[in-house]
Structure 1
Amino acid sequence: MITKFIFRVRRVSTVFLFTGLTLTGAGFINPASAQRGQMAPQKLDPIVEKIVQEAKGNSQLEQLAFELLDVVGPRLVGTPGMTKANEWALKTFQNWGIEARNQQFGEWHGWERGISHIDMTHPRAKSLAGTQLAWSPTTKGKAVEAEVIALPDIKDSISFRQWLPQVKGKYVMISMPQPTGRPDANWKEFGTPESIEKMQKNRDSLNRAWNARIRATGLQTNSIPSVLEEAGAVGILTSYWSMEFGANKIFGARSHKVPSLDISLEDYGMLYRLAEKGYAPKIKVETSSKHLGNVPSFNTIAEIKGSQFPDEYIILSAHLDSWEGGSGATDNGTGTIAMMEVARVLKKVLPNPKRSILIGLWGSEEQGLNGSRSFVLDNPAIIEKTQAVFNLDNGTGRVANINGSGFVHAYDFMGRWLAAVPREVTKDIKTDFPGSPGGGGSDHASFVAAGVPGFMLSSLSWGYFNNTWHTNLDTYDKLVFDDLISNVILTAVLTYKASEEPELVNREKRILPKGPDGKPADWPAIRQPRRSGVGY
């Protein structure tokens, strides 16, 4: 029987407790002393002290963030931006004296954004806030002006097919117009209970009606753009609001011949109202994006060679690619620069670790963990002897949660390693041991599926999912460098202690909870990556 161990942190006494287990030693204090209100001072390992000094006193995070986010910019797979990012990371590692290489794992349809303009020309002139979706077809630098219409409220698929000829020569809106541009928190702060309830009912009603409108076409949402362009539409307009002021999610185009454009909530709503009330709005769109054919996709791999066990590894994991709405700051520029900074700090403080330290900056994570899944399959000797994988990939906040990923002994070895981390870093971290294996939300899951202890170092939100995750607002100014420094210290110490272990840790997996059939759930299987692709 597997017992669930919960790792708790008491803020006042800074006591680390494991349910069913008492630990003492470096970083822990005697529970009896804690109950008497006594706190033993934490004695840090000399290497840990040097890690802290270097991470705080000589941080390169701001410079790395500037170079990656402002100079290189977004890093969509298949774009020149991703190629520049691979080259920048390679050169940066090499300048630090760390061996690095760009390892090809596949190819992707190449695309370059270029300059674009979206303007309303009727019933009045207005420049609109919007952007091409990733891999969108182009107008080839020509301005295409046309009327805007909305997907109609039709009875069934027969009615939809009868209406379809009307899209010829027009831009078609296929997203639901939002009834409010104010986030729920804003309503909660200032609205009356009656107005909030009214707004929510109105939004729910509109959602149901719009979903019924989509179903009546007889098509899936993702299939509608291609049907519209085949019927002669000159462009597809969407608006994927992120439920925060000014934030829209920006993903990939589903059209193949005509531009797909995401329009801000405010401008999309205006166009929709004008169209619905008979004002026949017109917009003029000009884009100069380019399709580049198939281009290679890479992981950037760096290595600090081990002195005693050079063929055993600790892997620092972060994905280098991003979507294109902003500059990929918190997803996953923060993880990338933090892991690079960990490597820099350890190279200076611990130039000859016992085990080799690999830094994997993965490509095409956003399309299905393709870079890390490829690495797992292409490097079986490394996977067989990997001590642990530490992954950063969910925003700018300091690490707040660590899950044991379903490894029975994670509470033991992770407990030892965490005990060496300064309490100011770990005092608010909650852990769940042995936890459960991830289903595939980030790159650590690629390694966990292969039986490697991989840990997602989960961060505080800082409004991540609504404000910056895959949005146009995911930019440099959202970074919180004090929190990132904390994550560098945490990860560097965990890596150091994992490297110092006398042996590879026990990889025993827990028996997973029973499913509806009464049988234990299966451990996640290794999945094949996409080594070539177009768009999603």
Structure 2
Amino acid sequence: MQYLPFLLLTILGITQLSPLSSGKAIGKPSLSEQTIKDVEAEIFSYKAVAKALIHMAVEGKAQNRSYERLSLLVDMVGPRLSGSKNLEQAIQVLYHSLKEDRLQNVHLEPVKVPHWERGEESALMKAPRRQPMAILGLGNSIGTPPNGITAEVLVVTSFSELQQRALEAKGKIVVYNQPFISYQETVKYRTQGAVQAALVGAVAALVRSVTPFSIYSPHTGILEYQEDVPKIPSACITVEDAEMMGRLASQGLRIVIQLKMCEKKYPDADSFNTVAEITGWKYPDEVVLISGHLDSWDVGQGALDDGVGAFISWEALSLIKDLDLRPKRTLRLVFWTAEEQGGIGSLQYYLQHKGNISKYSLVMESDLGTFFPIGLQFTGSEEAKAIMREIVKLLQPLNITQLLDGGEGTDINFWIQAGVPGKKKLSRAT
């Protein structure tokens, strides 16, 4: 996995140096100009170490190790939905694997997580013609009555159009045929679509899958309800079916759908965040956190989202250990639980550990895929960015050349918003 060392080298560089400053009041002073120059010189001194790390990961004995670890988990356990036996099996497997890897302080931290299960689902267009449609219920959605919901459809392309046509929506199934702009912009139709439709009296909401490409493949993901708004069932449909209904509606044709969803929500279940460390030799109470989430949706193996992010984070610690490198600060690996349900595991971790926030030098997560790396996105002070720019220079053999603003992630945003520097990978699909 040639993309991995950029995470690894960032961790190594930070833990060998002075604490990063975010520029916010969390007890860390800004670095002076002279200190930055000293730090730059120190980072450059790790060029040989960087080369050794890259060689071991790309060409040496660790080549493909994280891939093999991940493939074993997804093949043996499969999907890992919050509250499921599969997720708890995966947590136990990883707990024992981290111990076998001789990492330190391997332990499980209890978390209460949502337990929602998908039942049988179907959508049948009954007019203007009969046509079964592929759907995937959205996480946390309620089900329909046992006989389903049969109703006329209102197709809209935006929330503003829904408001303009609010009088037409009562008693109907709202179909969102929104254009794809970006994931961050378009995903609001998945998360907020049910609430917005319920506010104008709709009985269900169907959302065009949040993707620029489709091979008749509906997606899933979490939706958000509001306590003061009636809950209505909601599912994603394919891009193709959304566009088809958009064309029918533009011709003035009446569309009727029969929707059946047997989703159920159960009491919260017991789960765990999985933690392992390499203890710092000089400042063991100061932490550099690297992470990915172990849970996944139930309709896939969870290999890319986010098994690979979790496993390359583990690989970072394994490589440091294999080369007998000793960081000054503690490197802490966390496999989050219930990220897909809105960052439940990471929120509970933050609430449990925020009392020591001044001891966190950097927080990182990998959850944007493992495509061809082109840079790092980072949130922190100007002094911290100066340090990161020097670290990026060590990563040029891996094509890591850019340092951009905007480091964030569901599982680390709590820390970043509180002032701790944060980073994520910038990559492009190949």
TM-score by length of 1: 0.56
Is residue 136 from structure 1 mapped to residue 141 from structure 2 by the alignment?
yes
Give the distance between the partners of 2:323 and 2:162, measured in 1 at CA: 68
Is residue 251 from structure 1 mapped to residue 221 from structure 2 by the alignment?
yes
Deviations, residues 70-96 of structure 1 (Å, cap 9, x unaligned)? 655555555556545434432432342
- Tell me which residue corresponds to 1:262: 236
- Tell me which residue corresponds to 1:195: none
Is residue 447 from structure 1 mapped to residue 419 from structure 2 by the alignment?
no
Residue from 265, 274, 285 that aligns with 1:311: 285
Structure 2 alignment gaps of length 5 or more? 1-35, 182-188
Distance change in 2, residues 1:172/1:81 (3 Å):
farther
Q: Is the 8 A contact 1:77 1:363 kept in 2?
A: yes
Give the distance between the partners of 2:178 and 2:361, measured in 1 at CA: 50
- Tell me which residue corresponds to 1:461: 428
Residue from 359, 372, 382 that aligns with 1:385: 359
- Tell me which residue corresponds to 2:91: 86
The one-letter code sitting in structure 2 at the alignment partner of 1:269 is: E
- Tell me which residue corresponds to 1:146: 150
Give the distance between the partners of 2:362 and 2:374, measured in 1 at CA: 19
- Tell me which residue corresponds to 2:315: 341
When structure 1 is superposed on structure 2, of 120-129 and 235-244 the one drifting more is 120-129
Offset at 1:348? Answer: 3.3
Offset at 1:359? Answer: 0.3
When structure 1 is superposed on structure 2, of 250-259 and 293-302 the one drifting more is 250-259
When structure 1 is superposed on structure 2, of 335-344 and 47-56 the one drifting more is 47-56
Residue from 195, 206, 220 that aligns with 1:237: 206
The one-letter code sitting in structure 1 at the alignment partner of 2:119 is: G
1:162-177 matches, cutoff 5 A: 167=171, 172-176=173-177
Offset at 1:111? Answer: 0.2
Deviations, residues 191-219 of structure 1 (Å, cap 9, x unaligned)? xxxxxxxxxxxxxxxxxxxxxxx9xxxxx
1:14-413 matches, cutoff 5 A: 43-44=48-49, 48=53, 51-52=56-57, 57-67=62-72, 69=74, 72-73=77-78, 75=80, 77=82, 82-98=87-103, 99-105=105-111, 107-120=112-125, 124-139=129-144, 142=146, 144=148, 146-150=150-154, 160=166, 167=171, 172-176=173-177, 222-227=194-199, 233=203, 235-246=204-215, 250-253=220-223, 258-274=232-248, 281-296=255-270, 298-307=272-281, 309-322=283-296, 328-350=302-324, 355-365=329-339, 369-380=343-354, 383-403=357-377, 405-410=379-384
Offset at 1:441? Answer: 4.2
Offset at 1:152? Answer: 8.8
* SS in structure 2 of the partner of residue 335 of structure 1: helix
Q: Is the 8 A contact 1:175 1:240 kept in 2?
A: no
The one-letter code sitting in structure 1 at the alignment partner of 2:208 is: S
Give the distance between the partners of 1:248 and 1:428, measured in 2 at CA: 34
Deviations, residues 312-341 of structure 1 (Å, cap 9, x unaligned)? 333212334456675554443332121022
Q: Is the 8 A contact 1:177 1:269 kept in 2?
A: no
Distance change in 2, residues 1:448/1:121 (3 Å):
closer
Offset at 1:287? Answer: 3.5
* SS in structure 1 of the partner of residue 148 of structure 2: strand
Give the distance between the partners of 2:242 and 2:389, measured in 1 at CA: 51
Offset at 1:291? Answer: 1.5
Distance change in 2, residues 1:367/1:134 (3 Å):
closer
Q: Is the 8 A contact 2:194 2:234 kept in 1?
A: no
Give the distance between the partners of 1:237 and 1:124, measured in 2 at CA: 18
Give the distance between the partners of 1:334 and 1:376, measured in 2 at CA: 23
* SS in structure 1 of the partner of residue 176 of structure 2: coil
Deviations, residues 288-317 of structure 1 (Å, cap 9, x unaligned)? 433212234542222233455433333212
The one-letter code sitting in structure 1 at the alignment partner of 2:397 is: E
The one-letter code sitting in structure 1 at the alignment partner of 2:367 is: D
Q: Is the 8 A contact 2:106 2:275 kept in 1?
A: yes
Distance change in 2, residues 1:54/1:93 (3 Å):
farther
Give the distance between the partners of 2:418 and 2:317, measured in 1 at CA: 24
Give the distance between the partners of 1:338 and 1:418, measured in 2 at CA: 18
The one-letter code sitting in structure 1 at the alignment partner of 2:110 is: Q
Give the distance between the partners of 1:66 and 1:461, measured in 2 at CA: 23
- Tell me which residue corresponds to 2:22: none
When structure 1 is superposed on structure 2, of 278-287 and 454-463 the one drifting more is 278-287
- Tell me which residue corresponds to 1:189: none
The count of aligned residue pairs is: 378
Give the distance between the partners of 2:45 and 2:107, measured in 1 at CA: 40
- Tell me which residue corresponds to 1:431: 403
Give the distance between the partners of 1:131 and 1:156, measured in 2 at CA: 22
Q: Is the 8 A contact 1:119 1:126 kept in 2?
A: yes
The one-letter code sitting in structure 1 at the alignment partner of 2:414 is: S
Q: Which has the larger radius of gyration?
A: 1
Offset at 1:131? Answer: 1.1
Offset at 1:282? Answer: 4.8
Give the distance between the partners of 2:99 and 2:391, measured in 1 at CA: 29
Deviations, residues 362-393 of structure 1 (Å, cap 9, x unaligned)? 34545665544543442257543344334323
The one-letter code sitting in structure 1 at the alignment partner of 2:401 is: I
When structure 1 is superposed on structure 2, of 305-314 and 410-419 the one drifting more is 410-419
Offset at 1:132? Answer: 0.9
Offset at 1:239? Answer: 1.8
Distance change in 2, residues 1:411/1:270 (3 Å):
closer
Give me the identity figure in percent: 24
Give the distance between the partners of 1:415 and 1:333, measured in 2 at CA: 28
Give the distance between the partners of 2:123 and 2:48, measured in 1 at CA: 60
- Tell me which residue corresponds to 2:26: none
Q: Is the 8 A contact 2:155 2:245 kept in 1?
A: no
The one-letter code sitting in structure 2 at the alignment partner of 1:303 is: E
Give the distance between the partners of 2:328 and 2:278, measured in 1 at CA: 10
* SS in structure 2 of the partner of residue 375 of structure 1: helix
* SS in structure 2 of the partner of residue 90 of structure 1: helix
The one-letter code sitting in structure 1 at the alignment partner of 2:425 is: S
